[in-house]
């Protein structure tokens, strides 16, 4: 349910807020889709003389940040995002470890398991439901929050792939883990859509670089299912060289009413040129959810443009400058909890060292047109309409390949 998504940040920001609630967010993790991981980290050594490639990858990372917020919120909370939920202090956002094996024609089994913890993780899963309410058990934030990814699948010779489990959502551009993104902080459009989906995915490779996907999931970023029926997602992806594009439609009953007129319907479109020395990406999303019990239908629309340039691109280090303007119209408050239009601009450099360390400095400006404001300010009960942020992030990571496949 979208209501539960709105609770994610509201729970993380639970203090004496008036009517405003800072909301949700969660980008996909480290999906292999190039549209979701536009700057793939160089893989471990793939080949050795007389051996096949390493087909299993183990990795881990630690993400620590400091955020200066011009409003100096007394609760140290950043309204509107879960990926960097705290300000005014050094914060351990995410600590994660991952084991994965991508399916191929030679080894058709796909496997992915990732565990994580940290302030951002708690903020992300705060809205996870417990089906059955007070009478329910074995679900909710404390059960699921440390499981980032858990899925397995099989690739058939026909190009058909079937996967099931907890997977990164393909909607939007970027992921929950900042290490995979062009900018440190996510776009408004990224925070407004699911970062993960729990369910079944069937994908089929098609001619001319096309790929079709169909998903059956428990809900719009929920592991537990509190709805009376599952939701669906269909998508068409295209890729050629460094250019990718995708159009995806999420649909289903995200409330008790099963009437199709009340379904949540969300269209995601994205185009990415992952070029060197300059790359550009654009996202435009929009959606609606009906109310058949006499309430008002909800509508939303938003997007962003990413521009990334390599000031230096060496064999062991890179200096990248990235910028992104974005906006999100939420006139009914269905996504961010408050009727408003949000605009945001961010820019800054990222230094990548030996594929082991990422050091990022980023400036971000946010503005809300909500009548009563949206951003936390000092210890005041009134909310601010804007905020300036300076973000410093240090991320250390490693990946190691093992279990070489014997050459055929």
pLDDT reported for residue 296: 85
Torsion sign over Cα 403, 180, 123, 6: negative
- Number of domains comprising the chain: 1
Q: Which region holds residue 180: left if phi is over 0, alpha if psi is between -120 and 50, else beta?
A: alpha
pLDDT reported for residue 26: 30
pLDDT reported for residue 325: 98
Q: Are 274 and 282 contacting, i.e. CB atoms less than 8 angstroms apart?
A: no
pLDDT reported for residue 40: 41
Pairing of strands 340-353, 317-330: antiparallel
Tell me the residue length of the chain.
408
The stretches in the chain having pLDDT less than 70 are 1-52, 292-294, 404-408
Return the closest-CA partner of residue 325 out of 309, 341, 346.
346
Q: Are 305 and 278 contacting, i.e. CB atoms less than 8 angstroms apart?
A: no
Full-model pTM: 0.85
Please tell me what DSSP assigns to residue 36: T
Q: Are 269 and 247 contacting, i.e. CB atoms less than 8 angstroms apart?
A: yes
| Range(s) of the domain holding residue 35 | 2-404
Q: How far apart are the first and last CA of the chain?
A: 49
| Rounded-to-integer distance, Cα 67 and Cα 90, Å | 8
pLDDT reported for residue 405: 66
Distance set, CA 99 to CA 34, 93, 219, 358 (Å): 19, 20, 26, 21
pLDDT reported for residue 258: 87
pLDDT reported for residue 292: 60
User: Tokens at residue 314, please?
Assistant: 């060496």
CATH number for 71 = 2.40.160.10
């Amino acid at each position: 349910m979208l209501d539960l998504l709105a609770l994610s940040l509201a729970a993380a920001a639970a203090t004496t807020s008036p009517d405003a609630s800072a909301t949700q967010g969660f980008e996909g993790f480290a999906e292999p889709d190039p549209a979701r991981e536009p700057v793939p980290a160089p893989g471990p050594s793939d080949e050795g003389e007389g051996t096949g490639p390493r087909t299993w990858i183990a990795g881990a990372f630690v993400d620590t940040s400091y955020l200066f917020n011009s409003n100096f919120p007394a609760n140290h909370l950043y309204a509107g995002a879960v990926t960097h939920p705290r300000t005014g202090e050094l914060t351990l956002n995410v600590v994660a470890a991952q084991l994965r094996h991508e399916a191929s024609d030679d080894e058709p089994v796909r496997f992915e398991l990732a565990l994580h913890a940290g302030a951002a993780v708690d903020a992300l899963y705060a809205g996870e439901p417990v089906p059955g309410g007070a009478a329910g058990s074995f679900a909710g934030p404390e059960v699921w929050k440390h499981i980032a990814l858990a899925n397995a699948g099989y690739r058939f010779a026909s190009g058909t792939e079937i996967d099931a489990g907890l997977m990164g959502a393909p909607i939007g551009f970027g992921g929950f883990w900042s290490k995979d993104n062009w900018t440190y902080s996510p776009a408004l459009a990224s925070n407004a859509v699911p970062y993960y989906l729990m369910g079944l995915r069937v994908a089929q490779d098609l001619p001319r670089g096309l790929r079709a996907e169909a998903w059956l999931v428990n809900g719009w970023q929920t592991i537990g299912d509190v709805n009376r029926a599952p939701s669906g997602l269909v998508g068409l992806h295209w890729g050629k060289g460094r250019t990718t594009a995708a159009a995806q439609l999420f649909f289903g009953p995200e409330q008790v009413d099963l009437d199709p007129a009340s379904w949540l319907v969300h269209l995601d479109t994205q185009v990415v040129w992952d070029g060197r020395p300059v790359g550009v990406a654009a996202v435009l999303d929009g959606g609606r959810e009906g109310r058949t019990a006499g309430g008002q239908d909800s509508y939303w629309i938003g997007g962003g443009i990413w521009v990334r340039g390599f000031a230096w691109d060496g064999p062991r280090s890179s200096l990248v400058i990235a910028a992104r303007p974005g906006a999100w119209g939420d006139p009914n408050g269905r996504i961010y909890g408050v009727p408003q239009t949000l605009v945001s601009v961010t820019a800054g450099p990222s230094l990548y060292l030996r594929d082991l360390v990422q050091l990022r400095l980023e400036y971000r400006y946010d503005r809300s047109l909500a009548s009563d404001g949206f951003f936390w300010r000092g210890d005041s009960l009134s909310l601010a309409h804007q905020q300036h942020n300076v973000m410093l992030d240090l991320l250390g990571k490693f990946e190691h390949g093992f279990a070489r496949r014997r050459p055929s």
